[in-house]
Chains A and B, each alone.
Chain A
Amino acid sequence: MTIRRWVGRACLTAAALAAAAPAASAQQISIDRIQVHGYGGWSFGRTTDNLNTNFYLFAHARGDYFHNEFALNIAAPLSDNLTIIAQPFWHSGHHANQTSSGMDYVFGEYKFADAARLRVGNVKQTFGIYTEIFDVGTLRPFATAPQSIYGPGGMIGKSYSGMGLTGSIFPERSWGFEYDVYGGGLETLEEDTPLQVVTQGTDTVGKTLNLATSRTFRDMLGGRVIFRTPLDGLSFGASTYTGTRPLTRAGVAKDWRRTVTGVHAELVNDAWILRSELAKERDEANFSATGSYGEAAYRLTEHWQLAATYGKFNTTLESATAANIARAPSLLEHQEVAGGLNYWFSPNFVVKGSYSTVQGNRFSHPDPTTRLRAVSQSGALMNQTNAVLVSGHLSF
């Protein structure tokens, strides 16, 4: 059975289940049953070399004060088994007038049992450790999630549109098991202008850069399993998804498949956070990539926390000539070492400071709308970026 047919049948099954579920249309719900939570934050970043034209995350040479975000999380239980969950967000970035808003996700969940819960709608993608809590600053030791997996390399999406099954099994005094399987359409987070610049080389006549910051994949299937060990806070997991996008490449129009597979390990207790992930991305259209990171954080006191991370993301670009790659190989590489010091006023409010050293220009490069191509071709690309990041995060 093809994936497309599988997804179609799965949607029909979901529709039948929804019809069989207790009627919930226009159902009134007591306001005291609705739970409203939220998170927000402000971030500042400045690169330490005034001559460096690279942008990394929210940092550049002049300093960027305008990154703010806020989101509400609303859970409305219509019955013991049926819950509607939505998360609208607002975000501003780079310039004060660059704002965006929308829905992170909105979906319905019908619980047959703890081991089987059906989710339909625009649902958080479950991949690795951070996708489900991508923007929540109070749940990570640094201002952002590790870029080697969660950066704009196309490894993950924020949410998928479709349906999925999730569940957990926690036997007595034993390992716990959680799973997710899902299918539908997925919008990935990626900015691949560095790859386009390498592919084009100096042959840029009549060519423009596609500045899109996401790609849409169809007929997507994915899943994640997590094993929770009897040692409190220690877990291991594996994730994968695959999907296609129609594209004309080298004169060939077809559905090109992307597959991403990853593994992760995590230890979280009162004092320590230790996390590590490794993921491989294979895009039939033109590239493959490997990302990995290790992250450690230690609570010195109730309030002070030290953090350190190392991450690496390497791209192999199949559509570029060796000569073009040799012109700016750093556009395919990213390596980051960072250290941070955080002050937690409470679990819901934290101020973070960190210093990052980035080697490579895959994620740290000049503005692609104006300078990336010219700087790369002139050989003036700065391979190293040092940045100071300061941020405040809240949640409730």
Chain B
Amino acid sequence: MRIFRTLLPALALLVGAARVEAQSTGYVVVVHQSNPVSSIRRDELSKIFLKKITVWRTKLPVVAVDQSSETRIRAQFTRDVHHREVTSVESYWQQQIFAGRAVPPQQRPGDAEVMAFIANNPNAIGYVSAGAQLAPGLKVLSVE
């Protein structure tokens, strides 16, 4: 019994921490409704937003759309998906730009603009706040 009494609070803390982590994923990855993809791996998502992968599995070109670099959602997405800080990723893009190799994904200032962009681009992929009302014609991808 004493062991249970000791372990229970620790267990509760662990469960609480897990919940906090789940809640801290304050964004969802969204694509156009017509996109046949329904799930995506984290490393695949990272490569798409770093333009290391430029086509969908269907061979159609991927058009990634980022949120502005000053936003909290961008910072969280960058840490979760790229395992980097935004400043590091910006340095990566400087390298790509000035080497003449690639330019960063287009940026939009907020959820509404990202959703409008994806609604008009069937090959687009972006992320918006988890609580945002999803615009018609979009769907959420599950991230593995």
Task: Using CB atoms and an 8 Å cutoff, list the residues of chain A in contact with chain B.
Answer: 35, 37, 39, 73, 75, 80, 85, 87, 105, 107, 109, 111, 114, 123-124, 132-133, 136, 138-139, 166, 168, 170, 172-173, 176, 232, 268-270, 302, 344, 346-348, 395
Contact yes or no, A348 B90, CB < 8 A: yes
How many residues on chain B are close to A (CB under 8 Å)? 24
Query: In the complex, which residues of chain B have a beta carbon less than 8 angstroms from the beta carbon of A170?
Result: 47, 52-53
In the complex, A70→B99 CA distance in Å? 16
Contact yes or no, B91 A139, CB < 8 A: yes
- B103 proximal to A (CB < 8 A): yes
Which of B85, B94, B97 lies in contact with A270, CB distance below 8 A? B85
Contact yes or no, B95 A139, CB < 8 A: yes
Contacts A37-B97, A107-B100 given; indicate if A269 touches B88 (C-beta within 8 A): yes
CB closest chain-A residue, reference B123? A80
Contact yes or no, B100 A87, CB < 8 A: yes
CB closest chain-A residue, reference B47? A170
Interface of A is mostly: strand
How far in angstroms is the closest Cβ of chain A from B117? 13
In the complex, A348→B83 CA distance in Å? 21
How far in angstroms is the closest Cβ of chain B from A68? 18
Contact yes or no, A114 B53, CB < 8 A: yes
How far in angstroms is the closest Cβ of chain B from A301? 12
Query: In the complex, which residues of chain B have a beta carbon less than 8 angstroms from the beta carbon of A133?
Result: 94-95, 98-99
Contact yes or no, A75 B103, CB < 8 A: yes
In the complex, A35→B47 CA distance in Å? 21
Contact yes or no, B100 A85, CB < 8 A: yes
Contact yes or no, A37 B98, CB < 8 A: yes
Contact yes or no, B88 A136, CB < 8 A: no
Contact yes or no, A80 B61, CB < 8 A: yes
In the complex, A39→B99 CA distance in Å? 12
Query: In the complex, which residues of chain B have a beta carbon less than 8 angstroms from the beta carbon of A168?
Result: 52
Query: In the complex, which residues of chain A have a beta carbon less than 8 angstroms from the beta carbon of B72?
Result: none
Query: In the complex, which residues of chain A have a beta carbon less than 8 angstroms from the beta carbon of B54?
Result: 111, 114
Which of B44, B47, B98 lies in contact with A136, CB distance below 8 A? B98
Contact yes or no, A139 B52, CB < 8 A: no
How far in angstroms is the closest Cβ of chain B from A128? 12
Q: Provide 29 A-B residue pairs closer than 8 Å at the C-beta atoms, listed in order of the A residue.
A: A35-B97, A37-B103, A39-B98, A73-B97, A73-B98, A73-B100, A75-B103, A85-B100, A87-B98, A87-B100, A105-B100, A109-B100, A111-B54, A114-B52, A123-B100, A133-B98, A136-B94, A138-B91, A138-B94, A170-B53, A172-B41, A176-B52, A268-B88, A269-B88, A270-B84, A270-B87, A302-B87, A344-B87, A347-B90
Contact yes or no, A132 B98, CB < 8 A: yes
CB closest chain-B residue, reference A299? B87
Contact yes or no, B100 A347, CB < 8 A: no
CB closest chain-B residue, reference A77? B103
Contact yes or no, B44 A172, CB < 8 A: yes
Query: In the complex, which residues of chain A have a beta carbon less than 8 angstroms from the beta carbon of B98?
Result: 37, 39, 73, 87, 132-133, 136, 139, 395
Query: Which residues of B54-88 are within 8 A (CB) of A?
Result: 54-55, 61, 83-85, 87-88
Contact yes or no, B55 A114, CB < 8 A: yes
Query: Which residues of B34-52 are within 8 A (CB) of A?
Result: 41, 43-44, 47, 52
Query: In the complex, which residues of chain A have a beta carbon less than 8 angstroms from the beta carbon of B87?
Result: 270, 302, 344, 346-347
Query: In the complex, which residues of chain A have a beta carbon less than 8 angstroms from the beta carbon of B44?
Result: 172
Contacts A172-B41, A172-B43, A270-B84 given; indicate if A132 touches B100 (C-beta within 8 A): yes
Query: In the complex, which residues of chain B have a beta carbon less than 8 angstroms from the beta carbon of A114?
Result: 52-55
Besides A170-B47, A269-B84, 4 other CB < 8 A contacts? Answer: A87-B98, A114-B52, A232-B84, A395-B98
How far in angstroms is the closest Cβ of chain A from B106? 9
Query: In the complex, which residues of chain A have a beta carbon less than 8 angstroms from the beta carbon of B91?
Result: 138-139, 268, 347
Contact yes or no, B43 A173, CB < 8 A: yes
Contacts A114-B54, A269-B88, A347-B87 given; indicate if A124 touches B100 (C-beta within 8 A): yes
In the complex, A80→B59 CA distance in Å? 13
Closest CB pairs A-B (n = 7): A132-B99, A347-B90, A85-B100, A170-B52, A35-B103, A347-B87, A136-B98
Query: In the complex, which residues of chain B have a beta carbon less than 8 angstroms from the beta carbon of A302?
Result: 87
Of B55, B61, B84, B100, the most chain A CB neighbours within 10 A belong to B100
